[in-house]
Chain A
Amino acid sequence: MHILLLEPNTVLADTYRQLFIKTGHTVAHSTSAQAAINAADERRPDVVVLELQLPQHSGIEFLHEFRSYPEWQRLPVVVHTFVTPPKLAIAREALARDLHVHTILYKPQTSLQDLLCAVGQAVETT
């Protein structure tokens, strides 16, 4: 499967990229929302792994833009973020209802195995 990884920290992104490549996937990495839109257009990902805390435009802004394109309205998105679950509690319902994001992972406590499982499940259930 082809994964679009939107991760502003390039050192962390390298780690996740290694994981995905080792498990047989291909990865396009972007550090900003605008670059990710461009990358999605060029690379046609099967799933997006998204950090919400991005420079300039936030992950939520990215999602609004991304979902405005008909071909990406149902593409699975896994939110994988440093934002703590309590801080995301209010946004969780809106993310699911309006932006079709059903998987939200807290990055510091998500193992690589859990991330792989979540990405696989997100693709299977879509």
Chain B
Amino acid sequence: MQAGNGGSAIELHDLLLSVAEQLKVPLTVIARQAELGQLDQATSLDVTHVHTQATAALQLVDSYLLGLELVKSQTQLELEPVSIASTLADTAHHLEQFARQYGIELELHIAGKYEPVMAHGRGLRAALLSLGFALSEMVGAAEASRRRVITLAVHRTRQGIVTGMYSGQASGLTAANWRRARSLAGRANQPFAVANSGAGAGFFVADAILRSMQTALRVGRLSRQSGLAASFRPSQQLQFV
């Protein structure tokens, strides 16, 4: 996927490899859960595990395809005013069950009121959800000695309105590691080896979608938590209304 925003976009081929690698995880969970149910009739199949993992897998595929679509139509990609706070709240709702499977609590941090931002509504939702699934897997691998939390946040900076996800268990998320991970996406089994055991495709799919909207995922900090976030221009048009 070769989106704009400089020459550092991840190639389509590498992104596809990353997605394929990532899909092995939910598919393995589904296959083994089904097998566990067959082995022992007394054990009922854990339908919640199967449903949640299948949903995450489908979402990753859909987001990847949406990213392709957005990149292809980039010349006529129309950005529209989107409520970032309600999109983030909606993401938290859809992510909740998946995060809970990994022992993670979600916290929504939307302080103040935010005007709509210029974005592609469906793309923004897909990017945030992909980011959330990927970060949940990363944080879920942290040792359980501390409470696992992901904060979904919106805040304002000089660059615009920033939205992202942060965690105290994502200390490996540094700018250098993120740069290195992006350069290794699809080429290494563990592009984010310092912090993540898997392919982390959700991070790269989210980044590709955001790049088609002339923004990108960047490493950020929020109250001693590390995370990934993207900034958006406020919608000037609606500010006058």
**Chain A bound to chain B:** yes
* Nearest-neighbor residue (CB-CB) of A12 within chain B: B29
Q: How far is the CB of A40 from chain B (nearest CB, A)?
A: 15
**Chain B contacts for A16, CB-based, 8 A:** 32
Residues of B within 8 A of A108 (CB): 24, 27-28, 31
Binding site for B on A (CB under 8 A): 8-12, 14-16, 18-19, 22, 30-32, 35, 51, 53-56, 58, 82-83, 87, 107-108, 111-113
Cβ contact within 8 Å between B194 and A55: yes
Docked complex Cα distance between A111 and B190 (Å): 24
Q: List B residues at the A interface (Cβ < 8 Å).
A: 21, 24-25, 27-29, 31-33, 35-36, 39-40, 43, 46, 49, 53, 101-103, 137-138, 140-144, 172, 189-190, 193-198
- Of A14, A54, A55, A108, the most chain B CB neighbours within 10 A belong to A55
Max chain B C-beta neighbours (<10 A), residue from A10, A35, A56, A113: A10
Cβ contact within 8 Å between B143 and A10: no
Enumerate 19 A-B pairs (CB-CB under 8 Å) in ascending A order: A8-B141, A9-B140, A9-B141, A9-B197, A10-B101, A10-B103, A11-B29, A11-B101, A15-B36, A32-B143, A35-B143, A54-B141, A55-B138, A55-B172, A55-B194, A55-B195, A56-B194, A82-B24, A113-B35
Q: Considering the chains assembled together, what is the distance between the CA atoms of A113 and B43 in angstroms?
A: 16
**Other than the known A31-B143, A107-B28, what 12 A-B pairs have Cβ atoms closer than 8 Å?**
A8-B141, A9-B25, A9-B141, A11-B53, A15-B29, A15-B36, A30-B143, A55-B138, A55-B141, A56-B195, A108-B24, A108-B27
Q: Please tell me if the beta carbons of A112 and B36 are within 8 angstroms of each other in the complex.
A: yes
Per CB-CB distance, the 3 closest pairs between chain A and chain B, nearest first, are: A8-B197, A8-B141, A31-B141
Take A31-B142, A108-B27 as given contacts and tell me if A55 and B196 are in contact as well, using a CB distance cutoff of 8 Å: yes
From A12, A22, A82, A113, give the contact of B189 (CB < 8 A): A82
Determine whether the beta carbon of A18 is less than 8 Å from that of B43. Answer: yes
Report the minimum CB–CB distance from B174 to chain A (whole Å).
Answer: 13
> Which residues does chain A contribute within 8 Å of B33, judged by CB atoms?
15
A8 partner residues in chain B, CB cutoff 8 A: 141, 197-198
Closest A residue by C-beta to B137: A9
Residue of B with least CB distance to A15: B32
Contact check, A55 vs B197: say whether CB atoms are below 8 A apart: yes
Of A35, A54, A58, A112, which one neighbours B32 at CB under 8 angstroms? A112
Does the CB pair A112–B197 fall under 8 Å?
no
Bound-state CA distance A32–B193 (Å) is 12
Q: Collect the chain B residues with CB atoms within 8 Å of residue A87's CB.
A: 189
B197 touches A53 (CB 8 A): yes
A residues near B138, Cβ cutoff 8 Å: 55
Nearest-Cβ distance from residue A81 to partner chain B, whole angstroms: 9
Chain B residues whose CB sits within 8 angstroms of the CB of A18 once the complex forms? 36, 43
Q: How far is the CA of A21 from the CA of B101 in the complex (A)?
A: 20
Chain B nearest CB: distance from A86 CB in Å? 12
Chain A residue contacts of B144, Cβ below 8 A: 31
Assess the A53–B189 pair: CB atoms within 8 A. yes
| Shortest CB distance A9–B (Å) | 6
Closest to B53 in A: A11
Complex: how many Å from CA A12 to CA B196?
Answer: 15
- Measured between C-beta atoms, what is the minimum distance from A10 to chain B in Å? 5
For residue B177, give the distance in angstroms from its CB to the closest CB of chain A: 11
